[in-house]
């Protein structure tokens, strides 16, 4: 079952919700578990990825790319 990240616009709490794709497609709108607010939005955080290197191995990436400002 996919896990979705949400953030509360009231208390800024970030939390995860486990839901089926069907629940998500119906308009999943969870309440904040900290303050109970209904003002929550889906949060898209930094992504980690694995890329294939030229030598046949794999490199772990941090989601940072050229010009992203991280070092």
Q: What is each CA distance from 63 to 5, 10, 26, 57, in whole angstroms?
A: 17, 28, 30, 18
- pLDDT one-digit tens code per residue, 31-64: 999 999 999 999 886 554 444 555 554 444 444 4
Predicted pLDDT at 13: 97
- What are the structural domains, with CATH classification, of the chain? 3-46 (2.20.28)
Report the mean per-residue pLDDT for the chain.
77
> What is the pTM for the complete model shown?
0.60
Distances (CA, A) of 47 to 10, 11, 17, 57: 25, 24, 17, 20
Asked if pLDDT for residue 18 goes beyond 50, the answer is yes
């Amino acid at each position: 079952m996919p896990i979705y990240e949400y953030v509360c616009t009231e208390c800024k709490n970030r939390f995860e919700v486990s839901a089926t794709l069907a629940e998500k497609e119906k308009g999943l709108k969870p309440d904040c578990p900290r303050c109970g607010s209904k003002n929550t939005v889906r949060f898209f955080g930094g992504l980690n990825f694995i890329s294939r290197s030229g030598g046949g191995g794999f490199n772990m990436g941090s989601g940072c790319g050229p010009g992203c400002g991280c070092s």
